[in-house]
Amino acid sequence: MFGSNFMANFGIPSQEQPPPQQGGDALAVNSPLAPNANLAGRQPGASYNTTLDPGTEQLFRQWLVQNKVPFDPDAKAPQDYDMRGFYQGLQQGNPKAKSAVDPNDSRLHFPDFWKTPSHETFSNESQWAPGNAPAWNEQDQLVGQGGRVVFDDRKKPEIPVADVPLSVSSAPTR
């Protein structure tokens, strides 16, 4: 996860500070810090996560279990992905609400549109992204404004020595 300094570098309000409200102090549309056009005048809540009514929340929780979605609906800390927003989009027929298996790690991934600013791979495709947020290139790399690669989806993560199992035979299989 990126800290508030990373987020501040891209003009992204931290979870502790609410984002600027529309009005006299709103950012100019052509400003590099202007919110993403996908925002359509909406402002995020304190956590950037969608709130569902109690009935829809119950259906959401059932959907999580039925589809084995790796998400903790009871988490108290700010989430790095707005899974409730994704679910709502799915129910409303939003064409962005599609999941797929990432060919680089063979894991289920959800669209960047619902990533919050605290997500490790927060990009310009998020509804909350300012104009200068990092963007994905054709090599599956997340690249910042200066051309620096901030995340490489094709690069295999290195396992720290302390995390390597001591005995292969006792290691659980997938």
Please list the pLDDT of the chain residue by residue as tens digits (174 residues): 344 444 444 444 444 433 333 333 333 333 344 445 555 445 555 678 899 999 999 999 999 999 999 999 999 888 899 999 999 999 999 999 999 999 998 988 999 999 999 899 999 999 999 989 999 999 999 999 899 999 999 987 665 545 444 433 333 333
Residue 92: its pLDDT value, please?
95
The predicted pLDDT at position 49 comes to 87
Handedness of CA 7, 121, 82, 124 (dihedral sign): positive
Position 7 scores a pLDDT of 41
Residue 72 lies in a domain: yes
Tell me, yes or no, whether 156 lies in a domain. Answer: yes
Backbone angles phi, psi at 110, to 5 degrees: -115, 155
Q: By CB neighbour count within 10 A (0-12 exposed, 13-18 middle, 19+ buried), where does 146 fall?
A: exposed
Handedness of CA 119, 35, 94, 60 (dihedral sign): positive
Give the type of residue at 165: P
- Is residue 98 within 8 A of residue 86, CB to CB? The reply is no
Closest Cα to residue 111, out of 30, 129, 159?
A: 129
Query: Which residues contact residue 43 at a Cβ distance below 8 angstroms, ignoring those fewer than 6 apart?
Result: 19, 21, 22
Q: Is residue 81 part of a domain?
A: yes
CA-based nearest residue to 52, from 41, 64, 40: 64
Residue 19 lies in a domain: no
What is the model's pLDDT at position 36?
52
pLDDT at 165: 45
CB 144 within 8 A of CB 150: yes
Whole-number Å distance between alpha carbons of 10 and 3: 12
- As a whole number of angstroms, the distance between CA 61 and CA 73 comes to 7
- Residue 135: inside a domain: yes
Is residue 35 domain-resident?
Answer: no
State which residues form the domain around 74. 1-9+49-164
| Structure confidence at residue 27 (pLDDT) | 33
Query: What was the pLDDT predicted at 79?
Result: 87
Identity at 12, one-letter amino acid code: I
Q: Is 36 domain-assigned?
A: no
The domain tally of the chain equals 1
User: Distance from CA of residue 116 to its chain's centroid?
Assistant: 4
Which residues, including other chains, have CB under 8 Å from residue 53's CB and lie 6 or more apart? none
